[in-house]
Amino acid sequence: MKKTAIIATLVLATAVVFISCDSKRQPGKIYMPDMAYSRAYESYAPRDSTKFTMDPNDAGNRIFYNNMPAAGTIKRGDQFPFTVPNDSNGLINLSAQVKNPLAPMAGKELEEAGRLFNINCAICHGAKGEANGPMAPKIGGVKSIIAASPGFSDGRLFFVMTYGQNNMGSYASQLSKEQRWRIVQYIRTLEPPKTAAPAAGAAAPKADSAAVKK
């Protein structure tokens, strides 16, 4: 008798399980609906404003979602973010601590860096990195890169491309971080070869005083 009761209960339980899983369209009674229906939200679908908010201050009351990847998200294969702040301390001191992450380039890679330089920089700075590109007279105040760069750290050159400087805009949206670091290396190839004993009053101190004003 006891056995029959157990078997009957098992059969009944199995039946209930199978019946409840029959169809998602007509689910009947649902126990734990979150298990049956995923809470995945379409990224760009319109959202119920009574449930969702894009205002971070309201995040406690409604679900905060603003279509943006989580802070600190890095694109696959991309380099870590450049966290040096856009101020004079960042320009002169902090950027100097950031090393060029790329291995030295040659051949095709260097050619590619030159191509990027000629497209993005030569229009103002000229193909040799001076201040004589065709746009220079229109922009005004263009400075020679190679006059300054021997006194600039790699990080500082990267900084100027990333944030811009006075009349020069930022190149962060046109050039990936890797491309900007490539251009830094390319600029080094444009510099006049270093002589063993540099002449008095070489470019370095002058370059520093030029940048302090930012």
- Answer yes or no whether residue 165 interacts with ligand HEC by CB under 6 A: yes
State yes or no: residue 88 binds ligand HEC (CB under 6 A).
Answer: no
Site size for ligand HEC (CB under 6 A):
24
- Select from 95, 161, 162, 182 the one that contacts ligand HEC (CB under 6 A): 161
The Cα 181–Cα 102 span in angstroms is 7
Nearest distance in Å: CB 165, ligand HEC = 4
Q: Which of 96, 110, 123, 190 binds ligand HEC (CB under 6 A)?
A: 123
Q: Does 157 bind ligand HEC (CB under 6 A)?
A: yes
Q: Is 171 in the site for ligand HEC (CB under 6 A)?
A: yes
The residue from 100, 120, 132, 176 that contacts ligand HEC (CB under 6 A) is 120
**In a 3-state reduction of DSSP, which class is residue 53?**
strand
Task: List, in sequence order, every beta strand (DSSP E) within 46-126.
Answer: 52-53, 63-64
Q: How far apart are CA 16 and CA 214, in angstroms?
A: 74
Nearer to ligand HEC, 9 or 166 (CB): 166
Q: Does 143 bind ligand HEC (CB under 6 A)?
A: yes
Here's the x/- map for ligand HEC, 5-44, by CB under 6 A: it reads as ----------------------------------------
Q: Can you give the length of the chain in residues?
A: 214
DSSP 151: G
Counting contacts by CB under 6 A, is residue 121 touching ligand HEC?
yes
Pair type for strands 63-64 and 52-53: parallel
Q: What tokens were used for 20?
A: 């409840």
Tell me how far CA of residue 49 lies from CA of 44, 57, 60, in angstroms. Answer: 14, 15, 14
- 98 or 124: whose CB is closer to ligand HEC? 124
* Alpha helix (H) residue ranges in 43-198: 88-89, 107-120, 122-125, 136-139, 145-148, 154-163, 177-190
113 is an interface residue for ligand HEC by CB under 6 A: no
Per CB under 6 A, which region of 48-56, 71-79, 107-115, 120-128 contacts ligand HEC?
120-128
